[in-house]
């Protein structure tokens, strides 16, 4: 059947052939380039090192999953298998270019979150350690959030039961709250916190009356202390003032000192006379003519001694009179 003009848009077969040729050529070129790109993306042009991770449970791990280091994919799960020892094995292919991140000290962790697939992570503490050999077999640690849930639920249930007991109608917490309510109700009354603490309004009223009385007492005490101040001031004046007791006593003591020194002088004179008298007594028999003159001297001396003693006695009396605290008016002779 010949092409109608409407079918071909009036184009000559040659230009149509060129367009179709271009279209098919471009299509095949793109298809081949895409296949090359996919092969490159799948690592067909790269050499790999194999790594086997051993786990108790590989639930959540799928073929094609990444092994990451610091968040960057460095390898891919190629196969999962169950070994004869009952442990699951994750076979991973790591491109040669990424092998440098894996060392003999590298730790592998499988993280199973609540939502989403598991994640395989590698942690290398020291990048200076010797590199991981090809076909190495390592254990993988599993951090499973799902496994924690039953345990957590049991704990939460117990905690909820405790809360329920605490909030029940007859629980001690409820009673405490009732008591607190009663106390705060009293606190809201006429006597405020005092009423709340003391139980009822009567007690509170008594306490307040006591405080009032104490205030009045304190005011009286203020007056008394003022009077006491005046008394003290007067005493001070009497004792230590210009012609007070202390002053007079000082004068009397000075006078007494003077008298005592006079008495000492007289006594010294008596000593001398007595010595003379001794000498005289020894030669009394021989010097009877001198007796009349000596006894006349003794009479005069005795009169002086007596006069001195009288002065002392009067002085001590005067002191006793001026010193009000010495009641017992005893006189001690020296």
Residues that bind another protein in the complex, under the rule CB under 8 A: 1, 3, 7-9, 11, 13, 16-17, 19-20, 23-24, 26-27, 30-31, 34, 37-38, 40-43, 64, 66, 73, 76, 115-116
What are the φ/ψ torsions at residue 90 (nearest 5 degrees)?
-110, 115
Query: Least distance from C-beta 55 to another protein, angstroms?
Result: 21
Residue 137, strand partner residues: 52
Residue 95, strand partner residues: 48
Minimum CB distance to another protein smaller for 40 or for 240: 40
* Nearest residue to 121 (alpha-carbon basis) of 113, 308, 129, 48: 113
Query: Least distance from C-beta 13 to another protein, angstroms?
Result: 6
Minimum CB distance to another protein smaller for 71 or for 150: 71
Minimum CB distance to another protein smaller for 98 or for 108: 98
What are the φ/ψ torsions at residue 242 (nearest 5 degrees)?
-60, -45
- Strand extents, DSSP E, 125-224: 136-144
Query: Least distance from C-beta 110 to another protein, angstroms?
Result: 17
Query: Least distance from C-beta 174 to another protein, angstroms?
Result: 43
What span, in angstroms and rounded, lies between the C-alpha atoms of 120 and 55?
Answer: 11
Minimum CB distance to another protein smaller for 66 or for 248: 66
Query: Least distance from C-beta 68 to another protein, angstroms?
Result: 11
* Nearest residue to 186 (alpha-carbon basis) of 162, 203, 166, 169: 203
Minimum CB distance to another protein smaller for 31 or for 182: 31
Query: Least distance from C-beta 122 to another protein, angstroms?
Result: 16
Which residue matches tokens 């039953």? Answer: 150
Minimum CB distance to another protein smaller for 43 or for 199: 43
For residue 114, the SS3 value is coil
What span, in angstroms and rounded, lies between the C-alpha atoms of 150 and 147?
Answer: 7
CA distances from 113 to 69, 119, 249 (A): 18, 8, 105
């Amino acid at each position: 059947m010949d092409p109608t003009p409407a079918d071909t848009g009036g184009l000559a077969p040659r230009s149509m052939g060129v367009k179709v040729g271009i279209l098919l050529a471009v299509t095949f070129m793109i298809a081949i380039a895409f296949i090359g790109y996919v092969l490159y993306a799948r690592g067909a042009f790269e050499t790999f090192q194999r790594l086997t991770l051993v786990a108790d449970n590989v639930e959540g791990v799928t073929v094609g999953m990444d092994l990451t280091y610091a968040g960057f994919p460095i390898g891919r799960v190629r196969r999962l298998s169950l070994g004869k020892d009952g442990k699951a094995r994750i076979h991973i292919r790591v491109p040669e270019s990424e092998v440098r991140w894996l060392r003999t000290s590298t730790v592998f962790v499988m993280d199973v979150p609540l939502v989403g697939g598991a994640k395989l992570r590698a942690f290398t503490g020291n990048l200076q350690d010797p590199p991981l050999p090809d076909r190495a077999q390592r254990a993988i640690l599993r951090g499973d959030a799902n496994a924690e849930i039953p345990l957590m639920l049991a704990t939460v249930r117990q905690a909820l039961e405790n809360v329920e007991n605490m909030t029940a109608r007859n629980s001690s917490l409820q009673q405490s709250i009732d008591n607190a309510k009663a106390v705060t109700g009293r606190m809201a009354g006429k006597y405020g916190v005092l009423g709340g603490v003391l139980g009822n309004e009567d007690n509170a009223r008594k306490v307040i009356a006591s405080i009032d009385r104490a205030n009045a007492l304190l005011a009286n005490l203020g007056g008394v202390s003022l009077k006491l101040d005046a008394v003290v001031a007067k005493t001070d004046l009497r004792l230590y003032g210009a012609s007070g007791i202390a002053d007079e006593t000082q004068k009397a003591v000075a006078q007494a000192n003077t008298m005592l020194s006079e008495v000492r002088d007289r006594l010294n004179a008596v000593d001398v006379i007595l010595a003379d008298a001794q000498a005289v007594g020894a030669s009394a028999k021989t010097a009877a003519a001198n007796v009349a003159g000596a006894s006349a001297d003794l009479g005069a001396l005795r009169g002086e001694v007596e006069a001195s003693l009288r002065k002392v006695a009067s002085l001590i009396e005067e002191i006793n009179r001026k010193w009000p605290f010495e009641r017992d008016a005893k006189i001690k002779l020296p």
